[in-house]
Chain A
Amino acid sequence: MFVKQLSVFMENREGRLEQAAEVLKDQGINILSLSMADTMEYGMLRLVVSDPELAKSALREKGFSAKLTDVLAVRLDDQVGELYRLTHILRTNGLNIEYMYALAASEKKAIIVKTSDGEAAAAAVLAGGLALYGNEEL
């Protein structure tokens, strides 16, 4: 039901993202989607990858602060109104969106979303007629 998202804390330093990318490359890990949130001093790299557990341990070994979080990968069609459909479901169920970003790996199109209540959001989304991807399907 959930997708394991890899979150990496990044200091605002030159070359730091490159180093993280290198770790993933060396482990043969494919990045399916990513988003980067930034503040004045640090950034938060969020990734959906082919092997989250391996990616996490490899990054930690190289001194990164990395952890896995359950998020939803909500399957959306490439057409007008899909984002509205999702946000409408969440809002009418009293769920708050912490963050979201798009995923477009080969034919799989989805929105990665973290809400105030993952379980409730998953149930609401499914009840609303939308589908969810798991790590395996991606």
Chain B
Amino acid sequence: MIWNETKECMSRDEMSNLQSARLVKLVDRVYHNVEFYRKKMQAVGLEPGDIRGIEDLDKLPFTTKDDLRDTYPFGLFAVPNSQIVRIHASSGTTGKATVVGYTRRDIDVWSECVARCIAMANMGREDVIQVAYGYGLFTGGLGGHYGAEKMGATVVPMSTGNTKKLINMMIDFGVTGILCTPSYLMHIAETILEMGVKDRIKLRASLNGAEPWTEKMRGKIEEMLGIQAHDIYGLSEIMGPGVATDCHLHRGLHVHEDHFLPEIVDRETFRPVEDGVTGELVISTLTKEGIPLIRYRTKDLTSIDHTPCECGRTTARIARFTGRSDDMLIIRGVNVFPSQIEAALLEMGGTTPHYLMIVDRVNNLDTLEVQVEVEERFFSDEIRELENLTRKIENVIHQAIGLAVKVKLVEPKVLERSMGKAVHVIDNRKFE
């Protein structure tokens, strides 16, 4: 089912015209309402009139996550706070959150986009959908929730946590669709098989995102549960989940191009690349009111395909993500930068001790172990002191990144150094 045929199936020319018209308005809006953008454009001698359509897009400067951080909390908002109806936030690189605000219309557009994604997963108003993303500042829970409600489906706002309860409700309520991270769905699938209740569930489709996964993992989930699993992409800076999703043909993720203008740029030159070439995904939010972003560098690596899809949609498709252009890790759906660990350890006093993050996946749940070298000033001859130190570091890191971690003290100089530069991350997860 196609949720919005007018927008999702328009010709490329119509789409370009719509995008151009919206881009011109967007540039005009941010120039006049956001000092940051006005200064940035003036710095390169640009005036709103210089942008006449999407052909002029690459004249505009990029926006980065650092820009959001530097203007914390509301510096990039383009409307007065009285028009903001909701705030979401994700963890930033130095403990400061990245804050985004939505107007009522933004929430409507977001819900519309998520509804399109749900339709791509072949779910509709007859479906009972469990939203098993975390509810709260994280965009996953509420974003999925509003989209599923907009669709008219019956929504079960499960959130995360109690897997057995989730499965029992899945049986009792006749749940047919689920929105959650892929690793959590793997965990749910295994629990269903363990409980021996597979023949009692009616689940037939899922939308999974907020962390990297592979085609192989998607195939495994589909096989274990006998469902169709779809990849849903999004990031809070742009909107949240629902920026793009794959249709039943699974030949890339359809971007809701009338709202999110995608570009792929070369990782080094930052010049736009052709279809099929891998580069960094850059998005301009064509219709966003609360915090419109121009050429936002997602740091996600992918390629794009503008040819129409056999499903009937004409919206451009981005390939499954191949990685990140920065050192950000996604652990249990939470964005984690090594620099956050560094900053947290710095709080322990003095200089940062050498550390190593070991990310793994145990029973389909991500784990993070942080090894910290025991230095002179930390060192005590009393075990109790060392245990206290371990707990203290665990707490500081937990506070900083919002994830429970296991800290392990190690001897100095055992942590790997490569080319004189310390290796700070070992990711043992195999996304399959």
| Contact among A11, A41, A69 for B381, CB-based, below 8 A | A69
Q: Mark B370-405, 1 if CB is under 8 A from A, else 0.
A: 000011100101111011000000000000000000
| Shortest distance between the CB of A45 and any CB in chain B (Å) | 10
Instruction: Confirm or deny: B412 has a beta carbon within 8 angstroms of a beta carbon on chain A.
Output: yes
Instruction: Tell me whether B386 and A11 are in contact (CB under 8 A).
Output: no
Instruction: Tell me whether B410 and A44 are in contact (CB under 8 A).
Output: no
In the assembled complex, which residues on chain A have CB atoms less than 8 Å from the CB atom of B376?
65, 67
Instruction: Tell me whether B408 and A9 are in contact (CB under 8 A).
Output: no
Instruction: Tell me whether B411 and A65 are in contact (CB under 8 A).
Output: yes
Given contacts A65-B374, A65-B376, A67-B376, contact A9 B409 (CB under 8 A): yes
Instruction: Confirm or deny: B414 has a beta carbon within 8 angstroms of a beta carbon on chain A.
Output: yes
In the assembled complex, which residues on chain B have CB atoms less than 8 Å from the CB atom of A72?
none
- A1-50: which have CB < 8 Å to B? 5, 7, 9-11, 37, 39, 41-42, 44, 46
In the assembled complex, which residues on chain A have CB atoms less than 8 Å from the CB atom of B384?
98
In the assembled complex, which residues on chain B have CB atoms less than 8 Å from the CB atom of A42?
386, 409-410
Chain B's interface size range is 10 to 19
Given contacts A9-B374, A11-B414, A63-B413, contact A41 B383 (CB under 8 A): no
Instruction: Tell me whether A10 and B411 are in contact (CB under 8 A).
Output: yes
In the assembled complex, which residues on chain B have CB atoms less than 8 Å from the CB atom of A63?
411-414
In the assembled complex, which residues on chain B have CB atoms less than 8 Å from the CB atom of A37?
383
In the assembled complex, which residues on chain B have CB atoms less than 8 Å from the CB atom of A39?
383, 386-387
Name the residue on B nearest A9 (C-beta). B374
> How far does the alpha carbon of A65 sit from the alpha carbon of B411 in the complex, in Å?
6
* Residue from A37, A42, A64 with most neighbouring chain B CB atoms (10 Å): A42
| Shortest distance between the CB of A91 and any CB in chain B (Å) | 19
Name the residue on A nearest B385 (C-beta). A98
Chain A's interface size range is 10 to 19
Name the residue on A nearest B378 (C-beta). A65
> How far does the alpha carbon of A63 sit from the alpha carbon of B374 in the complex, in Å?
11
Name the residue on B nearest A69 (C-beta). B381
| Shortest distance between the CB of B394 and any CB in chain A (Å) | 13
In the assembled complex, which residues on chain A have CB atoms less than 8 Å from the CB atom of B412?
63, 65
Name the residue on A nearest B381 (C-beta). A7
| Shortest distance between the CB of B121 and any CB in chain A (Å) | 44
In the assembled complex, which residues on chain A have CB atoms less than 8 Å from the CB atom of B413?
63
> How far does the alpha carbon of A9 sit from the alpha carbon of B384 in the complex, in Å?
13
In the assembled complex, which residues on chain B have CB atoms less than 8 Å from the CB atom of A9?
374, 379, 386, 409, 411
In the assembled complex, which residues on chain A have CB atoms less than 8 Å from the CB atom of B408?
41
In the assembled complex, which residues on chain B have CB atoms less than 8 Å from the CB atom of A44?
381-383, 386
In the assembled complex, which residues on chain B have CB atoms less than 8 Å from the CB atom of A99?
382
Given contacts A41-B408, A65-B374, contact A114 B381 (CB under 8 A): yes
| Shortest distance between the CB of B59 and any CB in chain A (Å) | 55
| Shortest distance between the CB of A134 and any CB in chain B (Å) | 19
> How far does the alpha carbon of A10 sit from the alpha carbon of B411 in the complex, in Å?
7
Besides the contacts A44-B382, A65-B376, A67-B379, what 5 more A-B pairs have beta carbons closer than 8 Å?
A: A37-B383, A44-B386, A65-B375, A65-B411, A98-B384
Chain B residues at the A interface, C-beta cutoff of 8 Å: 374-376, 379, 381-384, 386-387, 408-414
Query: Can you pick out 26 interface pairs between chain A and chain B where the beta carbons lie within 8 Å of each other?
Result: A7-B379, A7-B381, A9-B411, A10-B411, A11-B411, A11-B414, A37-B383, A39-B383, A39-B386, A39-B387, A41-B408, A42-B409, A44-B381, A44-B386, A63-B412, A64-B411, A65-B374, A65-B376, A65-B412, A67-B379, A67-B381, A69-B381, A98-B382, A99-B382, A114-B381, A114-B382
